[in-house]
Copies of this chain bind each other. A is one copy, B any other.
Amino acid sequence: MLGAGVDIGGSYIKAGLVEIQSGRIIDQCSVPFPRGQRAEVVWDRTANCVTELVDRQRLMMNDLVSVGVALPGTLNPEKTQVIHAYNLDFHNTEVRRPLEERFPGIPLSLLNDGDAATLAEHRFGVLKGTRTAVLLTLGTGVGGGLILNGQLFGGGLGNGVEIGHMTLRYDAEKHVCGNPGCVEMYCSASSLVSGMEGVSPREVIEGIRNEDPAMFGILERYTDALSSALVSIVNLLDPEVIALGGGVSNAGEPLLEATSRKLREKSFFTAEYRIVQASMGNEAGMVGAAIAHQCL
């Protein structure tokens, strides 16, 4: 069984042909996100990407059991519109209808990209077998998803989960999301280099992974914030596993060690939760989108 999983981001639209049972991507392609152009161009490019993969593998569109599309934003509870996807500049944008027109007769799933990654980690990755778990993606933005009761949690009212916009410092300036001092302000990739010049988040992440002493101060400051974000989740949900994904998680063991140590000092429960690096990498969104029709 093959499904197509599409991960739409602010830089690229990525599509993969995914073996549903194994989560293996057998072919993939990506095209630039058409910034500043009409949404219809995005849907055309999305359809073209999937068509190209299907053609390359000498398949027919009807061979696909599903098409799933992951978006970096909030969908309405009916999953027909994107309410806000700031990185795409989509606001109250129709999604289901234009995509159904382009994939007639194929089951279509639309979901948040953090949710897609969480589905992938839960089915094939480090959250496998968990009943209460969290994925936090630390990238340009901070997102993620929740597993509750052994299933992806879509929000009590169906609006979704916005882990990156929980509160870290309530008397700070207001973030674009509306919440002053939200997690994203202190835990995104760019916050790693805030106040610094001439150094990229990627260089800092690399430096942390290699235990470069010059990065020690940055790691301390960043994990002070990240561990306090995680303590909110731990004290509220007492999860079995917390997985860290996104670009910052590539800092690896030094990041995990410092975060875990501080979290244990701060959290109410001295429990046996585990903090691990997410294992599905950049493919998590595509894989999760492709399997979403089975999970949601």
Measured CB to CB, the nearest residue on chain B to A268 is: B162
Assess whether A273 is in contact with B157, with CB atoms less than 8 Å apart: yes
Assess whether A169 is in contact with B166, with CB atoms less than 8 Å apart: no
Instruction: Scan A171-204; emit 1 where CB is below 8 A from any B CB, else 0.
Output: 1000001111100001000000000000000000
Distance of A258 from chain B, by nearest CB (Å): 15
Is A165 among interface residues, defined by CB-CB distance under 8 A?
yes
Contacts of A239 in B (CB 8 A): 156-157
Measured CB to CB, the nearest residue on chain B to A227 is: B170
Q: How many residues of A contact B (CB 8 A)?
A: 51
Is A235 among interface residues, defined by CB-CB distance under 8 A?
yes
A155 to B161, CA, bound (A): 18
Is A132 among interface residues, defined by CB-CB distance under 8 A?
yes
A261 to B177, CA, bound (A): 16
Distance of A227 from chain B, by nearest CB (Å): 8
Assess whether A232 is in contact with B232, with CB atoms less than 8 Å apart: yes
Contacts of A238 in B (CB 8 A): 155-161
Checking B148, B157, B268 against A165 with a beta-carbon cut-off of 8 angstroms, the contacting residue is B268
Checking B165, B186, B271 against A159 with a beta-carbon cut-off of 8 angstroms, the contacting residue is B271
Is A225 among interface residues, defined by CB-CB distance under 8 A?
yes
Q: What are 19 A-B contacts with C-beta separation under 8 Å?
A: A74-B268, A74-B269, A132-B157, A155-B238, A155-B269, A156-B237, A157-B269, A161-B235, A162-B269, A166-B167, A166-B231, A166-B235, A167-B167, A169-B170, A169-B181, A178-B265, A179-B231, A179-B266, A179-B267
